[in-house]
Amino acid sequence: MSHDERLRRLERAFRASGAAEDEAEWLRERVRRGELDPARLDAAAALGHPAALLASGRGDEPLRALERLGPTALGRAAVAAAELVLPVWEGAFARDPRPRLAVAAARAWTLCPCTPHLQEARALGLQVYATVGDLPEASHAARAAMHCGALLGTERVGEAVASAELAGVSRAALHDAIRAALVPWLLS
């Protein structure tokens, strides 16, 4: 059996069964063939993807695993965190579209990590951040939502995640959102 046939057979087995063990075999073969970067597999494992955990055998801390992949991976995590916080902001300030625009610009940068997209994401994020001082003290959650938006494009995902937690988003919800946003990209 050729290497290509083996890879296709492993993928078919996984698609048919949906079993983590079958997906892990397929992922290991993709790494062995150079079709999947081991660092991406390790990051998916760190985010708790069952098949990646089986295939990688590593359980690194998620932020550290994403840092090894660079700014685009961190930006995708920050976008996922900020998207959870947008409803908090919009609940308090429904007429202010700036945080949503900052998140959309950051998402565009993660899809095309070029200088113009990065500059737009940073400019919109900083514009949002500049208004934080104008918010009433009672709107701590809205401050956190704006903080998330401002950090997008600056690769400071740890602060974006911390801000989402301050806004009342649970750590579990954040982890689930980041895993859902990143694992398909990591393993693509």
Token pair 């046939």 is found at 5
Computed over every residue of the chain, the mean pLDDT equals 82
Which residues does 158 contact at the CB level (< 8 Å), separation at least 6? 63
Distance CA 104, CA 93 (A): 18
pLDDT top residue among 171 and 34 = 34
The pLDDT of residue 152 is above 80: no
Residue range 53-76: average pLDDT? 86
Q: ∠ CA 175-127-181 to the nearest 5 degrees?
A: 20
